[in-house]
Structure 1
Amino acid sequence: MRHTFSETWSGIRRNGSMTIAVIVTMWVSLTLFGAGLMVNQQVNLMKADWYDKIEVRVFLCNATTPGDNCDAGQEVTQEQKAQIEQTLRSNPEVAEVTYQSKEQAFAEFRAAYANTPTADYLTVDQMQESYSVRLKNPEEYQGVVSSVQGLKGVQNVQDLRGILDGLFEWMNLAQWGTIIAAALLLLAAALQIANTIRMAAFARRREIGIMRMVGASNWYILAPFLLETLFAAVISIVLTCVTLAAGHYFLIVQKAQVLIQGSPWIGWSHVGIAMLGVAVVGVLLSIIPTLIATRRYLRV
């Protein structure tokens, strides 16, 4: 082992500039990869929280609101309401149906706009009856919407998924952009590691030939090269974990959680998962290119 560690340290000193370049490349690429994992967890957390609160709102016709399924100047009839409610309750995707009368809608409106001039704009008669529909699976909302939006007496079907889907599309785009950029940098780091090992093996070709002739095992020859890349990987992983922790503290804890308190944010446990992923990828990134490079270039 003393010879192995001695050769490892000698290789690090000989290839100091290349080792530093490998560390910096791995640090940047692993940081982007870890950030992508954190963004992915944040998107999933927000989806789980926001989608769980989403309800499909079915607004019924009244005498003052026009609609394709409404008769001009006519209120929704009891028969139409019964059919709409039966359609909603019989749908297997529906978990709960709640009816809201005009009076309840008016009270909700006055509470929302209390102490403002807007509170006096509408009367009880102008409010709409509605059904609030909570879904078993918020992802499956289109079937519920399509089942009632064409029924007589339905003025409008409102669903916030259309707004949130656009938001999450942009978030997913940012997530995949980060992961793709990280993958390209990880590839660059892998190629740089393989090139560093190839140069180190070429510089030690005579020494390797002697070890082969005296019967040295493959592990004995490969160990110094593996330790060199593992040394660079460990430093890169530590720097990446510090960067991710600092980013979470300053951007999430100190900024985002203070500015937007109603939204769920990833915690330290999520950062720990990202760090674990970074550690696994960092170790594999150092070992696999080294094994490939030594397998090809250590033949003497």
Structure 2
Amino acid sequence: MRLGTWNLENLFKPGGDGPTGQAEYDVKLAGLAATVTELAPDVLAVQEVGDPEALDDLVERLPGAWVTALADPDRRGIRVGFVSRLALADVAQFADFPTELGGVQVDDAGERIEQMGRPALQARVDAGGTRLDVITTHLKSKLLTYPGGRFGPKDEGERARFAVYALHRRAAEAATVRAGADALLEGDGTSRAVVVAGDLNDEPQAATTQIFLGPGGSEIGTPGHTQPDRGDGHRLFNLAPLIPEEQRYSRVYRGRRELIDHLLVSHALLDDVTDVTTGSGRTPSITDDPRRRRNAPQSDHRPVVMTLDI
């Protein structure tokens, strides 16, 4: 079985926030479809789906039969979802922060939010007799926006404050998804197959990404990785170290490679992972202004896909 995650980058119909014309839209769909066909996932967690009809147009270009599911959109109109060859069961979204957090401030005016900007979505699939619970998510971006829709700050103080607001929000969203995974694991991750997939908008060692892992000390590549302990029932393992080093990135920002899209699995699936890849092809370098990529022929992210021997 192959399972992956991919940020499709503003998958909208032409006009509005989408490509300026039908020709540009068709080129983007063709590029996305070629990549999905090459990677051949059975289940693909997707992010930045704008119009649901645009996802339908993409699926029509894929070989075989597929089903889809989408969460509610954020204020900008993008959402997470699934594209799957396997039936999707028990599909549900969630967004509420743990009540103990008490909300998170998001701007200088003091606005506080108590939900994820983009709800996460979970679904259950049956793969060769193995029941997999999969969560797809897209956390708050590191690319900052400022009042009035600006992509640049008025001064360095504003930049610093809004970076803090974004970091607090991303951390709260990570804690929310971690709580959703806990509900699926029920402390029995050595037998329950759970996957968290998505654009976490930070790299493997970032504090927000580390929130997903659970009890520390057994990350892949560490001395404790092969030593069973009581924490294994609660852990999620980031598969980043299993990606070949030359492929270990999913975005290029100002010429610097970053791995911000991740697959995490419960202990029950660790021994079943046979390979992890981010695909092939050229990845464009982006800046802080996403408007420049409106007519881009592909996504600015690389997919991350794993093969499971189940």
- Which TM-score tier does this pair reach, normalised by the shorter chain? under 0.3
| TM-score normalised according to structure 2 size | 0.24
Give 1 or 2: higher strand fraction. 2
Structure of larger gyration radius: 1
Higher relative contact order (CA 8 A, sep 6+): 1
Give 1 or 2: higher helix fraction. 1
